[in-house]
Amino acid sequence: MSAKRDEILDNAEAELNKRITAGNLNLADLTVAHLAKPVSRTTANGYFKDPYDVCAALVRRHRLAGSADNEIPELIKQGAAVHYRRVSREPEALLEAGLRRPRKSLGEATNLFNQTERSPNVLHRIRAATYLAEARIQASLEEGTPEAKRSMLESAWQTAEYGLNLVREDERDHTEAALECATIAAHAARLLSRDDEVELRYLSYVSEYKTREAEFADRLHLFSRAAVARFHSERAGALIKNDAHRSLRAFKSVTDALMKAKADGESIEARYLNMLISRLCAHELAHPDDFDAESNEVRRNLVHLYGKNVAARKTAQLLIDVVKSAPSYEIDVSSVNMVRLGTFGAVGHLCTARLLRRLYERALTAAEEESDTSTAYVTNGEALLTGALAVQPREYLVAALDYLQRSRDGMRKSGPSGVLRAEAEQERLDLMHDGADQMSQSELELPEMSMETITKLVKVIDQLVMIGLVRRGSGLRQLNKLMLTLSPVYEYVKGGSSDVTTTFHKNTDG
């Protein structure tokens, strides 16, 4: 895949996301040239026929990168669906379109697999197996019991393994499908490795599949993809051997490879960098003595690789700064940034829990000094709210307990994650002993935000923007800064405070 094609897709996705944010969901008035700006019209039209063709390419890129279906914007999926409907109505082409369109239900995936089971077209059989394996992974998330979840994941893994066994190494046409199949096989094995009893067995499969994924990616000249796959393979091997230094060497190798790929003109996806930085930060928290000058240089280089993606770079730097503040966590982090920490999965949850614990301890001190606990530790922002919306000390405690549990549940037993999982368990016990033991069961539950509360919060945010608009000295720069700060809060509240942490790349802890 050429750097220019990647650039067009990056520009197109940014433009489509702007339109989605603005509420403009019409693709009919767009052209490829408009989506590709500033790439020239001639160049853009040489790669894509129309905006729907662009959407199909974006969906495929998301799927190759391991995105969950709900991580792909609905407008882009709808555009891709239009593209697939426009393909030839010949039976073979219809099947091809069915295998390429965005993820559907387990039933549809099973039907496609059955249609291709005896097909002489091996490529279709590989794709159908990949599609079914992916659908089974998604279905496993909805299973109620651990046994049922494990059974569905094992079926997914076996189906992907079947697809990989069909790959003919000398058939270049198989390479792209094989890459996706190896990715799904590794993902299924990774999820199965979260079971403590069989962790090492499935980590060995992760290492094997990621090595094959890297080989396929190299053939397609997806060098950053190959570098990240090799990192996963090497890190799985380090977990099996419990070799922390080997794991650190893997970070150095992948960073060097990504820097070379970028120097050669390849764009580096932010999701790769997020994953690497979150794991490197987890390693630092678990083994601070391992971190030396070379490790710090690796981290600086990873941050540098974000390039013009200022927002992602700032969020990554936020996590790094919070981790650097350990073990005291004496660092001022806004509520907006605490939400952003959650995008780094288990390690972000652990940092958030520790920051909330510090707020709880400060709130208790303030409560003792003020004697009136109903107004203890009210920040300037909270002073704008009614008393009912002020945060109480016990709410910090309960939230910290919740984030510690999320962190513990998101970590495996081996490697740095195992160290942090044990710490999260112990910290939760300590907090329960220190304050939660005196609370009733209802007090230990996180309070739901009522629609009335959400409405009040939205009005407060609107009022803050109006103040910024009408007050003297509120220039464009000041208003932009205010909107940049309030925008994620507004979306978070309008969404009913749903968990925003699922936006992070799903391979959070390895």
Residue 101 lies in a domain: no
Lowest-pLDDT range, 8-12, 348-352, 426-430, 487-491?
487-491
Neighbours of 120 (CB within 10 A): 7
d(CA 140, CA 429): 31
User: Cα–Cα distance between 93 and 97 in angstroms, integer?
Assistant: 6
pLDDT at 301: 96
Q: Is residue 190 domain-resident? A: no
**Which of 61, 96, 131 is the endpoint of a domain?**
96
Q: What is the mean pLDDT of residues 25-49?
A: 87
- Residue range of the domain that includes 388: 346-503
- Which residues lie below 8 Å from residue 155, measured CB to CB, with a gap of 6+? 136
| Sign of the alpha-carbon torsion through 314, 317, 319, 321 | negative
Closest CA to 278 of 417, 412, 428: 417
The rounded mean pLDDT for the chain is: 82
- Short-list 412, 504, 424, CA closest to 190: 412
Instruction: Record the tokens describing residue 106, joined without a space.
Output: 């387990």
Evaluate whether residue 494 is within a structural domain: yes
CA distance 187 to 160: 10
Confidence of residue 143 (pLDDT cuts 50, 70, 90): confident
Q: What's the pLDDT at 407?
A: 94
Structure confidence by residue, pLDDT tens digits, 44-103: 887 788 898 899 889 888 877 777 777 888 899 888 877 766 643 334 444 555 555 555
- With respect to residue 365, please indicate whether it lies within any of the assigned structural domains: yes
Say if 209 falls within a structural domain.
Answer: no
Longest alpha-carbon distance in the chain? 79
> Is residue 90 included in any domain, yes or no?
yes
| End residue of a domain, out of 75, 96, 117 | 96
For the beta carbon of residue 23, count every other beta carbon within 10 angstroms.
6
In the predicted model, what is the mean pLDDT of residues 165-169? 88
pLDDT class of 158 with cuts at 50, 70, 90: very high
> Looking at the predicted structure, is the pLDDT value of residue 432 above 80?
yes
Q: Which of 42, 73, 96 is the last residue of a domain?
A: 96
| pLDDT tens profile 313-329 | 999 999 999 999 999 99
Give the count of domains, the chain: 2
Residue ranges with strand state E in 249-353: none
Q: How many CA atoms lie within 13 A of 91 on its CB side?
A: 4
Give domain status of residue 333, yes or no: no
The pLDDT value recorded for residue 480 is 63
Q: For residue 55, is it within any domain?
A: yes
pLDDT at 98: 55
